[in-house]
A = this chain, B = another copy of it.
């Protein structure tokens, strides 16, 4: 076990656990049998037990291996959060109690995902909460690093299920990881990576099932292998809405998009065609999970602004190339477009940032596009041509 071996090497180790797979969903189902809308405070008290069970079992395991261990709940640290139940933010993390345990050469086993509000109610941090707890604790304890044990042995240049020639990445920068994670690499929630970057906590992603391979997530300047492109991702939860023949006047974008912002619908890419006769077409992408809600909101605006028509489509995906090298290497975008063109894949929308080039294409070409771009940037090979 990673924890025990790290401890045996003479390190002071604190452990953060998440719930067993499926347990959180099981608990939520129990609540759903009672009501569709449980109070957040009670839902948090309910699901927090999942991590408590794991913390106790982990402490029992460590003790049975001859170590001394003590489980701790979020409220024992305490890890203080705001009152936004089910997706609370950490406001303070105190280390006096856990430091005492560490000083006694005991391994503290802390429940991830959960904290406590100022008035003593159990709260949970929402998505990525366990990783975020681990990073926050590592930062507060000024730990050498934070090891994240997950079901994969690190980050790959692409999803190996889509791109069989994907390579394992040894080191990646926080910023690249954020672009990859936000686009669906699913290894780490972006929230924990952001926190690690903010507090300069080196992260290591390892497999819970053992093995030597792992991925370091560190500062940009600590990434030696500066390939132009670090990875290629495919995001499937993408839909687009187009408004045709919209009057091209100041404030029109705000008028269309503000109802979506109020409804907490995240608009990603936006394209506005060149104006013809004072009219333009306005297209944007949103998560497919928000499409039906968004359509209703935009239909109203379309009537208000007298647009010719509204079109919606969910048969699209977003392919992105991510890497530090993009901002310093002109021609990266061109190479990506060329590789897609060579496969006769039509690009519907484009967006670029310092670390990322994204193309929206038809869904049916998604996996082919990933393989094409992956190969175009030499990621298929054992030695990266860009080095």
A residues whose Cβ falls under 8 Å from a Cβ of B: 27, 30-31, 34-35, 38-39, 41-43, 45-46, 48-49, 52-53, 55-57, 59-61, 63-64, 69-71, 75-76, 97, 120-121
Contacts and interface: CB of A to CB of B under 8 A. Distances in A.
Given A27-B53, A57-B30, A120-B76, A45 B71 contact: yes
Given A31-B60, A34-B64, A42-B59, 15 more contacts: A34-B61, A35-B60, A38-B60, A39-B59, A39-B60, A42-B63, A42-B69, A43-B56, A43-B60, A45-B71, A46-B52, A46-B57, A49-B56, A52-B52, A70-B121
A45 B38 contact: no
Contact of A41 (B41, B70, B97, B120): B70
Contacts of A41: 70-71
A48 B76 CA distance: 15
Contacts of A60: 31, 34-35, 38-39, 42-43, 46
A60 B43 CA distance: 8
Contacts of A35: 60-61, 63-64
Contacts of A38: 60, 63-64
Contacts of A75: 75
Nearest to A100: B119
A31 B53 CA distance: 10
Contacts of A42: 56, 59-60, 63, 69-71
A49 B52 CA distance: 7
Closest 7 A/B residue pairs (Cβ): A46-B56, A49-B49, A35-B64, A45-B56, A42-B59, A38-B60, A42-B56
A52 B57 CA distance: 17
A49 to B, nearest CB: 4
Contacts of A34: 57, 60-61, 64
Nearest to A71: B45
A75 B73 CA distance: 12
